[in-house]
């Protein structure tokens, strides 16, 4: 698939050595990660550096295996084995040492073992975030529903769908309306109460822009970046931004290929998108998904846990698009992997791109999980147009011809229409998987836009029992109808997917498409004690016709402002004076019980709750 090529970019041909330096920076990216000596202090120094408490490592009597014991509770963790890996420590210095891995109920393996230790890091951070989120939720409730009992509070999550710039701008308006720093609406302060925030495709663009910049306000991004950048257009050959940076983007793509990694049109796609969204002059090119874990608002638990999703596709079967029940891949600051029944495995995001076989690696690679590549991966739908010529779009016309030629030197069509990553689960079968692995024989994973399987809202990862989400707020900006508005099919498919397996009963019943409103807010699961409560906020025209085409890539400053303002009204339901208290009623319904809700909630629930 790949072949050597000598390309002169900016006057200098890239050698293997210079290519590695160009793509990964001054530090050599490949690091020894096996056959090292376990240094417990180094690992827990790193762990404590990101705010994690240190368990006590001790030996069981008569057993050579280790057990983790929490010093405060005395609870014993699962049995562990030692597996060598590397970890990033302070000051961008690198050291190699052994890290213990452990067993997990649902999360599968990493380096041949089960990734309990990464779940431990994740869960420990979530505990810190939940405390901050609870305080924010209690503060918000005091303003909109002051008499409600707050002795027990739910775990909240926000999910924003795909839909290109339409979803980015509408979702931005929703977040702005929920952000206590950036709004005076009745919903202001609720974003601070979210424990999780998931995005897909256009929703992932938005989440990436926020997370990579350490969670600025939407107003700041709108005023300082988006109004100007969106007016130029990402793929407009006359755009000053894209023209001035094409050589740099092309150079980075070649550097990645010469460093030995698979490339595709996802690489320039993600880079060009990042120039549009990020305030950094180079599109936050040096920011990785794993870097987010070191940002101040993340380490202080002042931001929700970001999750970006994309879809697995079975390239070997010749599929143009993923099946509806295809596995979902998840990117977050700690891990990449899938909860699906046939994969059930995760790898540290920091080491994505490493050559791992059967759970072992002689060297670890860092720097592959660049956030521009992740956001490009979540929105990579070019495969459909390459595979299905009847759609009438020549994707090579979307990119400068020189950029396409550069990619073609290393990866030919149709493979260049997918996001490609070395398979970290090659030769590995998770002990927690309930089906045979469909990817263990692959050298590379093929990944596409998560919305291609018609599940255009990232829902399933938020239903995982270990995440304990109680209330899921969904802003859907899909273009299901001829008018480019959502019809709710994503909710129907989520319900169907949660009928069996470990997600059974986690998503509430929803009516068939066409049998519920998609122009105003609606609550689902009000009478289902075991399911999450879904607060559904579909895209609709409150103050502006926000049903723009997914392929609309240019927005004037006025359109940008108007789309965001309309998103405000979606979150605030047109400024309805009762909406804040009604929303609070829905959020607290299952926590305190319907009979214990304040006066007035009955009318709210009657108005917004759907019941069969």
pLDDT tens digits, one per residue of 283-294: 888 899 999 999
Neighbours of 63 (CB within 10 A): 9
Residue 7 has pLDDT above 50, yes or no: no
Tell me if residue 447 falls in helix, strand or coil.
strand
Q: Is the dihedral of CA 233, 235, 239, 244 positive or negative?
A: positive
Contact between 312 and 327 under an 8 Å Cβ cutoff? The reply is: yes
Count of other CB atoms within 10 angstroms of residue 318: 8
Q: Which of 6-20, 257-271, 466-480 has the lowest mean pLDDT?
A: 6-20
| Separation CA 124–CA 322 (nearest Å) | 34
Backbone angles phi, psi at 76, to 5 degrees: -90, 140
pLDDT in tens, 186-239: 999 999 999 999 999 999 999 999 999 999 999 999 999 999 999 988 765 445
The mean per-residue pLDDT over the stretch 262-278 comes to 92
Highest-pLDDT range among 60-64, 106-110, 382-386: 382-386
More confident residue, 390 or 248: 248
Q: How confident is the model at residue 389 (pLDDT cuts 50, 70, 90)?
A: low
Indicate if the pLDDT at residue 4 is higher than 50.
no
Report d(CA 17, CA 4) in Å as an integer: 14
- What does the pLDDT average to over 437-465? 91
Confidence grade of residue 8 (pLDDT, cut at 50, 70, 90): very low
Here the tokens at position 527 are: 């009478």
Write the CATH number of the domain with boundaries 124-608: 3.40.1090.10
Residue 5 has pLDDT above 60, yes or no: no
Q: Based on the number of CB atoms within 10 Å of its own CB, is 37 exposed (0-12), middle (13-18) or buried (19 or more)?
A: exposed
CB atoms within 10 A of CB 612: 8
SS3 state of residue 569: helix
Q: What is the average pLDDT across 541-552?
A: 96
Burial annotation 235-259 (CB, 10 A radius, 16+ → b, else e): eeeebebbeebbebbbbbbbbbbbb
pLDDT of residue 372: 95
Structure confidence at residue 404 (pLDDT) = 87
Question: Using alpha carbons only, what angle is made at residue 446 by residues 440 and 449, rounded to the nearest 5 degrees?
Answer: 135
Q: What per-residue confidence (pLDDT) applies to 584? A: 99
Average pLDDT over residues 536-561: 96
Q: Is the pLDDT of residue 67 over 50?
A: no
Predicted confidence band of residue 320 (pLDDT cuts 50, 70, 90): confident
- On the question of pLDDT at 422 being above 70, the answer is yes
In this prediction, residue 500 carries a pLDDT of 87
DSSP structure class, residue 210:
H
Question: At residue 56, does pLDDT exceed 50?
Answer: no
| Out of 50-54, 353-357, 400-404, least confident range | 50-54
**The tokens of 508 are what?**
């509430």
For residue 213, the SS3 value is coil
Least confident of 12-16, 277-281, 443-447, 601-605: 12-16
Following CA atoms 502, 508, 514, 518 in sequence, which dihedral angle do they give, to the nearest 10 degrees?
A: -110
Angle, to 10 degrees, between the axis of helix 601-608 and the axis of helix 579-592?
Answer: 100
- Dihedral sign computed on CA atoms, order 405, 411, 417, 420: negative
Instruction: Give 132's Cβ-side CA count (13 Å radius).
Output: 19
Please say whether the beta carbons of 54 and 39 come within 8 A.
no
What pLDDT shows up at residue 60? 32
Q: Tell me the β-bridge partners of 79.
A: 67
473 alpha carbon, distance to own chain's centre: 16
Measured CA to CA in angstroms, residue 289 lies from 331, 350, 367, 545 at distances of 8, 8, 9, 34
Give the whole-angstrom CA distance, residue 286 versus residue 371.
8
Domain boundaries, the chain: 124-608
Q: Judge contact between 349 and 334, C-beta under 8 A.
A: yes
d(CA 448, CA 420): 9
pLDDT at res. 355: 86
**CA–CA distances in Å: residue 13 to residues 9, 17, 257, 402, 412:** 6, 11, 13, 16, 22
Q: How confident is the model at residue 41 (pLDDT cuts 50, 70, 90)?
A: very low
In the numeric block, the tokens 């200098």 are attached to 12
Whether residue 307 contacts residue 462, with contact meaning beta carbons closer than 8 Å, is answered with yes
The proportion of the chain whose per-residue pLDDT surpasses 70, expressed as a percent, equals 77
What is the rounded CA–CA span in Å between residue 539 and residue 569? 10
Tell me how far apart the alpha carbons of residues 335 and 347 are, in angstroms, rounded to a whole number.
Answer: 5
Peptide bond into 414 cis (omega under 30): yes
Chain centroid, CA 184 distance in Å: 28
pLDDT at 601 over 80: yes
Say what the pLDDT of residue 498 is.
Answer: 94
> How many whole angstroms separate alpha carbon 419 and alpha carbon 182?
35
Highest mean pLDDT among 39-43, 273-277, 525-529: 525-529
pLDDT for 70 beyond 60? no
Query: How confident is the model over 566-600, as pLDDT tens digits?
Result: 999 999 999 899 999 999 999 999 999 999 999 99
Q: In the structure, what pLDDT confidence band is assigned to residue 1 with cuts at 50, 70 and 90?
A: very low
Max avg pLDDT among 53-67, 183-197, 373-387: 183-197
pLDDT for 517 beyond 50: yes
Nearest to 210 by CA among 202, 218, 198: 218
Mean pLDDT of the 499-508 span: 93
Residue whose structure tokens are 């004690």: 529
602, 503 contact by CB (below 8 A): no
19/464 Cα distance (integer angstroms):
40
Query: What mean pLDDT is reported for the chain?
Result: 80
* Phi, psi (deg, nearest 5) at residue 8: -100, 110
Q: Which of 144, 136, 186, 163 is nearest to 571 (CA)?
A: 186
The β-bridge partners of 345 are: 338
Task: Point out the least confidently predicted range of 109-118, 208-217, 365-374, 480-489.
Answer: 109-118
What pLDDT is attached to residue 239? 54
């Amino acid at each position: 698939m790949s072949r050597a090529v000598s390309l002169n970019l900016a006057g200098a041909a890239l050698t293997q050595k210079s290519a590695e330096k160009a793509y990964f920076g001054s530090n050599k990216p490949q690091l020894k990660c096996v056959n090292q000596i376990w240094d417990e202090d180094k690992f827990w120094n790193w762990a404590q550096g990101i705010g994690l408490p240190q368990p006590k490592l001790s030996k069981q009597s008569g057993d050579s295996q280790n057990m983790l014991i929490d010093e405060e509770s005395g609870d014993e963790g699962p049995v562990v084995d030692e597996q060598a890996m590397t970890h990033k420590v302070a000051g961008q210095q690198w050291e190699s040492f052994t890290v213990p891995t452990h067993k997990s109920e649902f999360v599968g393996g990493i380096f041949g073992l089960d990734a309990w230790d990464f779940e431990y890091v994740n869960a420990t951070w979530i505990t810190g975030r939940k405390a901050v989120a609870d305080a924010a939720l209690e503060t918000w409730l005091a303003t909109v529903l002051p008499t409600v009992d707050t002795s027990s509070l739910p775990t909240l999550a926000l999910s924003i769908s795909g839909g290109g710039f339409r979803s980015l701008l509408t979702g931005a308006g929703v977040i702005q309306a929920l952000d206590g720093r950036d709004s005076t609406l009745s919903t202001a302060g609720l974003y601070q109460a979210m424990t999780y925030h998931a995005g897909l495709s256009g929703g992932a663009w938005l989440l990436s822009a926020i997370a990579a910049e350490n969670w600025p306000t939407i107003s700041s991004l709108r005023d300082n970046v988006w109004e100007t950048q969106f007016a130029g257009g990402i793929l407009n050959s006359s755009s000053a931004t894209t023209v001035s940076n094409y050589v740099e983007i092309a150079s980075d793509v070649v550097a990645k290929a010469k460093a030995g990694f698979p490339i595709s049109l996802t690489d320039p796609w993600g880079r060009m998108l990042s120039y549009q969204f990020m305030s950094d002059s180079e599109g936050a090119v040096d920011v990785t998904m794993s870097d987010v874990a070191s940002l101040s608002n993340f380490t202080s638990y002042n931001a929700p846990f970001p999750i970006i999703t994309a879809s697995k596709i079975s390239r070997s079967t010749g599929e143009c698009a993923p099946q509806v029940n295809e596995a979902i891949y998840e990117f977050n600051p700690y891990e990449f992997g899938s909860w699906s029944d046939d994969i059930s495995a995760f790898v540290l995001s920091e080491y994505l791109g490493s050559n791992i076989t059967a759970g072992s690696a002689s060297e670890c690679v860092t720097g592959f999980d660049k956030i521009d590549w992740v956001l490009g991966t979540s929105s990579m739908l070019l495969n459909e147009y390459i595979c299905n010529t009847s759609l009438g779009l020549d994707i090579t016309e979307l990119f400068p011809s020189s950029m396409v030629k550069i990619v073609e030197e290393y990866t030919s069509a149709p493979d260049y229409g997918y996001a490609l990553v070395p398979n970290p689960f090659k030769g590995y079968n998770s002990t927690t998987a309930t089906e045979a692995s469909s990817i263990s024989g692959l050298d590379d994973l093929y990944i596409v836009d998560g919305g291609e399987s018609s599940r255009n809202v990232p829902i399933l990862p938020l239903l995982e029992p270990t995440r304990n989400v109680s209330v899921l707020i969904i802003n859907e900006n899909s273009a299901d109808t001829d008018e480019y508005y959502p019809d709710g099919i994503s909710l129907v498919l989520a319900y169907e997917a949660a009928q069996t397996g470990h997600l059974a009963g986690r998503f509430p019943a929803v009516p068939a498409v066409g049998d519920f409103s998609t122009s105003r807010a609606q609550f689902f699961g009000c009478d289902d004690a075991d399911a999450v409560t879904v607060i559904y906020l579909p895209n609709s025209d409150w103050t502006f016709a926000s049903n723009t085409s997914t392929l609309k890539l240019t927005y004037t400053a006025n359109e940008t402002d108007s789309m965001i303002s309309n998103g405000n009204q979606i979150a605030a339901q047109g400024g309805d004076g009762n909406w804040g208290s009604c929303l609070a009623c829905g959020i607290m319904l299952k926590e305190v019980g319907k009979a214990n809700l304040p006066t007035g909630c009955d009318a709210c629930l009657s108005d917004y709750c759907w019941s069969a």
